[in-house]
Amino acid sequence: MSKTETVTLNNGVKMPLIGYGTYQTPPRVTERCVAEALRAGYRAIDTAQCYGNEREVGLACQKSGLSREALFLTTKLWACHGYQDTLRSIDRSLKKLDLGYIDLLLIHEPTGDVYEIYRAMETACQEGKLRAIGISNFLEDRYLDLVNHCKVVPAVNQVETHVFRQQRKLRGLECQIGTRHESWSPLACGRNGIWKHPTLLEIAGHHGKSVSQIALRFLTQQGIIVIPKSTDSEHMRENLASLDFDLGPEEMGAIGQLEAGQSLFGWW
């Protein structure tokens, strides 16, 4: 099992630097995949209401034999509009996961009355239902707007981030304010020729690592939380092992030049 590194969120909660993502993992295979990820050494699992697999994630965690304190569960709100329906939505996720509490709850995207949705999350956090709260897909303007209207600074902002979209400006703002940056699709879903990119292949060859491991380490070495997804147990272990080495300054600089300046998924 690879070493587990953590980052400390702005409220003192520790979160694993690398987790296991369950986006587009059908419920029928989610329980098996999460169980394999936990056996491989992952301790953070990322799901969402709209993925339709919260129940299966919870079941895998319950059957893992690991203590609740050893796990870090993230889920995300979907189709909430205001304060009261958000409170009900949080309770539905708690019931489906059936793990007592949620470690990190995110607004999935900036829709609905974001101020009231976030206020409900603050309430649920005060009640002990959530350990930390944050956001997802909030770029600079929406992020700053929420920060100026909330009491609790978002602990995490989960945004498309990979070697081709590095989010330097947003990360700079988050660093000043105290929000941790988290990457969804840290391997760009295999797009943009990432697996055959000459820069990544050369660096991978130098370290005896895979392109996936190089792309992930580029992010985690900067303190960016990542949640790679795979349904293959060998790839799960390979991704987790991306924490076992370091890239040199010149290698980090070379990968930094891969910034394309735009989303690969239509996220502005």
Catalytic, 42? Answer no
Q: Which two tokens stand for residue 34?
A: 């999460």
Q: What is the pLDDT along the chain (268 residues), one digit of tens a residue?
A: 345 799 999 999 999 999 999 999 999 999 999 999 999 999 999 999 999 999 999 999 999 999 999 999 999 999 999 999 999 999 999 999 999 999 999 999 999 999 999 999 999 999 999 999 999 999 999 999 999 999 999 999 999 999 999 999 999 999 999 999 999 999 999 999 999 999 999 999 999 999 999 999 999 999 999 999 999 999 999 999 999 999 999 999 999 999 999 999 987 6
Per the residue annotation, which of 20, 23, 42, 51 is the catalytic one?
A: 51
d(CA 171, CA 157): 9
DSSP state of 148: T
For tokens 């630097």, the residue is 17
Q: Fill in the amino acid letter for 26.
A: P
Q: What phi, psi does 263 have (nearest 5°)?
A: -70, 145
Beta carbons of 104 and 131 less than 8 angstroms apart = yes
Give the helix/strand (H/E) hosting 43.
Answer: none
Side-chain-side CA neighbours of residue 211 (13 Å)? 17
Task: Specify the pTM.
Answer: 0.97
d(CA 130, CA 101): 6
DSSP string, 192-241: TTGGG-HHHHHHHHHHT--HHHHHHHHHHTTT-EE----S-HHHHHHHHG
d(CA 180, CA 46): 15
